[in-house]
Structure 1
Amino acid sequence: MDVKNYKDLNVLELDTIREIGSIGTGNAATALSSMLGCEVRIDLPEVRIMGYNEAIDWIGGPEVITAGVLVHMSGELNGIMLSVQQLEFVNLVLERIMGRTVDHYKELTDLDRSALVEVGNIMISTFINALSSLADITTRLTVPAFAVDMQGAILTVPMAEFGGQSDYIMTISANFICNGRAVPCRLLLSPDIRSLNFLLKKLGVLDG
C-alpha cells in the first residue's frame, strides 16, 4: 500500500531510509577526502523525518544566516536535495582549499563561493549516486544553485515545491571528522511522494 505522507512510513521503511542516509553520507565523506586533501571520516549519521518548522529549528533557527547548495532531481526520482553549510563547515572547506577562513558569509569571494558550490555538489551527487545504485534507478541532477540567506528563507524552496504534498522532509545529520576536527554536516532530502513510493518499492520494503 502506497504511503500518502512521510509520517505514514512504518518502522521498516524508516530503517531503510536511515540505511540509505548512512551509505550516502559515507560515500560523501569519501568524496570529500580527495577534495580536501585529508582523510574525512564520519560518525554515525542520524536520519529523521521532520516537519519543516522542526527542521528549521534543528539546523539552528529561522533567522540564522547560512549557506545552502540546492540541487533538483529528476528522472525516476524527483525532488530536491539541500546541503546546509554552516560557518564551521564553510571554514573547514575554505581552510583546506583556499588557505583562509572567514568570520562572516559576507566575506566570501566569488572563488570561495565556487569552492563551496563544488563541495556541496560533490556531496549531493555522491549521495544521490549511491542511492540510485542501491535502488537501481536513474536520477538526473540539475546544476547546483547557491544562496546565502536566513535558514528559514532557504527552506522555503522545498516548502513551496512540496508543501502541498507533505509537511515533512528527510533530514540527515552527521559530523565529518578531518585531522581530528569534527564539523557538523546537514543534508535535507525531499523526494516527492510518488518518488518516495517508487523508491521504497525498488528497495523491496513496499508492496508493488
Structure 2
Amino acid sequence: MNVDVESLGTFNRTAQAGARRAAENLTGMTGIETAVDVTEVTLASSRDLARGDRRVGVAIDFEGGIAGTSLLSFSPEGVEVLLDTLLPGEGVEESAVAEVGNIVTSGFVEGWADHLDTTIDIAPPEYVEGTGGELLDAAGFERDQALVFRSQVGAVGEELDVEFHMFPDRASMEEMLSGGDDPVSVEKLAALREMAATGAETASESVSAMTGIATGVDITQLSFVPVEDVPAELANRPYVGVVLETEGALGGYLLVLFDEASAREVAASLVPGTDEVTTFEGPARSAMKEIGNVMTSSFIDGWANVLDATIDISPPQFVHDSGPAVAESVVARLGRTQPFAFLFDATLRADDREFDCEIYALPDETDLRTALDDLDPDATAERTTKAGPL
C-alpha cells in the first residue's frame, strides 16, 4: 500500500483535533484538567503493540465515512484516579469505565466525522482489561502490519495515563491516504523499520561488549509525527547521551540517550579505576561520547548496507538534559525544512537491573524519500558496510 505524505499529515492533524475533543469530554466528566501530550501515526504490528503492562479500558467498533476499531485504555493507577473522582469509595466499576470510554471515544470520532463531513456511527462499548496482547485481541487487531493512529492524554497533577488507539480497516486507510504526487510505500517503510530493529540489536550488543551489561531491545517502532511534537515523544526526565548528525544517502539526526542511573553505570564501566560516577565531566563525558559513537555506527550500518550507499556520521555532541529539551535542539534544525518527521525509535533494557537506553533516528524527509525510491524491500544486510565518520 502506498500512502500520500500530505494526506498522512492532514489526518494526523485530524486525529489531534479528535484527541483534543476527547480530552475535553474527559475533563467535562471528571473535572480533571487533561491535555493531549502527543498524537502520532505508527507503523505497527500486533507484536509491537502487545506490550506486557496491564491496562483497563474499552474497545468500540465504528463504521460510516471511516470504519474500524478504537481502543481506549488506562493504566490501573489511572483507573483508580478516574473512579475515585466519579464513584468515590466504590472500587472498579466496569459500567463506569465503559461509560467514560463511550463518551471519550465519541469525542474522538466526532473530530474525524467533522473533518470528513460525514457520519460515523459507533457500536456499544466493550469493557476490556489485561495485557497489551489481550486488549488487542479484544479490539480484533490481527494484521501483521498496519498504520495505527495513537494519542496519549495526560492530566495536570494526576496520574491519569490515557491512551487512545484507532485502527482503521485497510479499505478505509487506502481511501484516506492513497493518491498524491509523491506516495510512500508502506512496505518499504516497514523494511527500513526492520533494518532499524536490526541496528538496535547490534547497538545493544555493542553496549554489552563494551560495558559487560547484558542488554536487549525492548521495542523498535516507526512513527509519523509533526516535527514540533517530537519533544513530547521523549519522557520528561534527565538523560545523558549524545546527538549526532548523519549525512550522505540518509541525512538527519540520531540521539542515543541513557537515563542518569544507566549512564553512571556505563561511564563507570568504561573509565579505568572508577567505581562510581557522580558528574559527567572529563573521562566520564568522553566515555559517554565514545559509546554513543559506537552505538550510532552499529545502528546506521544496516541502513547503509541495504541502501548500498555511504552514510557519514558527525562527531558526537554530548548532552545532559531533559528529554524534551534535548529533542528541541534537533527539532529547531529539522523544522526549518519539513513540517512532519518519520521517527524511528528503539528502547534497550537489561533484565537483571534498572537500565534504560533510548535511540531515536530522525531522517531528513527528502533523503528518506530518495532512499525509499531505490529500496528493495527484500534486500538483506549482506553488503559491505559503507558507514563511516564525517
- Please indicate the TM-score interval, normalised by the length of the shorter structure: 0.7 to 0.9
Partner of 2:41: none
Partner of 1:86: 259
Partner of 1:42: 217
1: distance between equivalents of 2:220 and 2:362? Answer: 17
Partner of 1:202: 374
Aligned residues: 199
Deviation for aligned residue 1:124 = 0.7
Three-state SS of the structure 2 residue aligned to 1:73 is strand
Change (3 A) 1:57 1:29: same
1:24 corresponds, among 192, 199, 214, to 199
1:155 corresponds, among 307, 327, 337, to 327
1: distance between equivalents of 2:207 and 2:282? Answer: 21
Task: Provide the TM-score with structure 2 as the length reference.
Answer: 0.46
Select the structure of larger CA radius of gyration.
Answer: 2
Kindly indicate whether the alpha-carbon contact (under 8 Å) linking 1:55 and 1:171 is maintained by their aligned counterparts in 2. no
1:56 corresponds, among 231, 237, 241, to 231
Match of 2:254, as an amino acid? M
> Structure 1 stretch 65-74 or stretch 32-41: which is displaced more?
32-41
Kindly indicate whether the alpha-carbon contact (under 8 Å) linking 1:4 and 1:193 is maintained by their aligned counterparts in 2. no
- Which structure 2 residues correspond to residues 1-208 of structure 1 after superposition, within 5 A? 4=5, 7=9, 11-52=186-227, 54-61=229-236, 64-98=237-271, 99-102=274-277, 107-163=279-335, 164-177=337-350, 180-181=352-353, 183-204=355-376
Kindly indicate whether the alpha-carbon contact (under 8 Å) linking 1:42 and 1:174 is maintained by their aligned counterparts in 2. yes
Kindly indicate whether the alpha-carbon contact (under 8 Å) linking 2:254 and 2:361 is maintained by their aligned counterparts in 1. yes
1: distance between equivalents of 2:204 and 2:323? Answer: 24
Structure 1, unaligned stretches of length 5 or more? none
Structure 2, unaligned stretches of length 5 or more? 10-182, 378-390
Change (3 A) 1:30 1:68: closer
Change (3 A) 1:39 1:190: same
2: distance between equivalents of 1:53 and 1:68? Answer: 21
Change (3 A) 1:151 1:2: same
Match of 1:142, as an amino acid? S
Kindly indicate whether the alpha-carbon contact (under 8 Å) linking 2:231 and 2:325 is maintained by their aligned counterparts in 1. no
1: distance between equivalents of 2:326 and 2:227? Answer: 11
Kindly indicate whether the alpha-carbon contact (under 8 Å) linking 1:3 and 1:197 is maintained by their aligned counterparts in 2. no
Kindly indicate whether the alpha-carbon contact (under 8 Å) linking 2:228 and 2:331 is maintained by their aligned counterparts in 1. no
> Structure 1 stretch 169-178 or stretch 118-127: which is displaced more?
169-178
Change (3 A) 1:186 1:39: closer
Deviation for aligned residue 1:140 = 1.1
Higher relative contact order (CA 8 A, sep 6+): 1
- Report Cα offsets for 1:13-37 as digits up to 9, x if no partner: 4422320221110111122222113
Deviation for aligned residue 1:132 = 0.4
1: distance between equivalents of 2:201 and 2:242? Answer: 19
- Report Cα offsets for 1:138-162 as digits up to 9, x if no partner: 1111111112233333212321222
Kindly indicate whether the alpha-carbon contact (under 8 Å) linking 1:102 and 1:108 is maintained by their aligned counterparts in 2. yes
1: distance between equivalents of 2:280 and 2:300? Answer: 28
1: distance between equivalents of 2:186 and 2:281? Answer: 45
